[in-house]
Amino acid sequence: DAKTTQPNSMESNEEEPVHLPCNHSTISGTDYIHWYRQLPSQGPEYVIHGLTSNVNNRMASLAIAEDRKSSTLILHRATLRDAAVYYCILSKDSGYALNFGKGTSLLVTP
């Protein structure tokens, strides 16, 4: 499986944008880029996913590099409820189990 690399932790101020990076230099042409987040003592929550083009939804935006070797999850205005561990995961489709790495622990301060 292609692996991803994320910073262990990041910190942001409330109401400011947050850019969470992910490197995936060995990504294959059929790998989707998924982002999930996990709040303490909860199951992971789907955030967004994409293949080649940038994607937007009500939660976040996903910016994918032209060579697809990296991507960035963008939270446009961080709130205290966005404090969580964010996982960047590659998967060919949802029929495959997701390989969770260590993710990025996002701290949001008032």
Partner 1 sequence: GAVVSQHPSWVICKSGTSVKIECRSLDFQATTMFWYRQFPKQSLMLMATSNEGSKATYEQGVEKDKFLINHASLTLSTLTVTSAHPEDSSFYICSAKRLAGLETQYFGPGTRLLVL
Contacting residues toward partner 1, per CB under 8 A: 32, 34, 36, 41-46, 49, 87, 91, 93-95, 97-103
**Taking the CA atoms of the chain, what radius of gyration do you get in angstroms?**
13
Q: Tell me whether residue 5 or residue 16 sits nearer to partner 1 (CB atom).
A: 5
CB of 11 to partner 1, least distance (A): 19
CB of 110 to partner 1, least distance (A): 25
Residues 6+ apart with CB under 8 A from 97: none
The vertex-93 CA angle with 39 and 57, nearest 5°, equals: 50
CB of 36 to partner 1, least distance (A): 8
Q: Tell me whether residue 17 or residue 101 sits nearer to partner 1 (CB atom).
A: 101
Q: Tell me whether residue 12 or residue 104 sits nearer to partner 1 (CB atom).
A: 104
Burial class from Cβ neighbours inside 10 Å (0-12, 13-18, 19+) for residue 104 reads buried
Q: Tell me whether residue 76 or residue 102 sits nearer to partner 1 (CB atom).
A: 102
Q: How far is residue 17's CA from residue 89's CA, in Å, rounded to a whole number?
A: 22
CB of 42 to partner 1, least distance (A): 6
Which amino acid, one-letter code, is at 72?
T
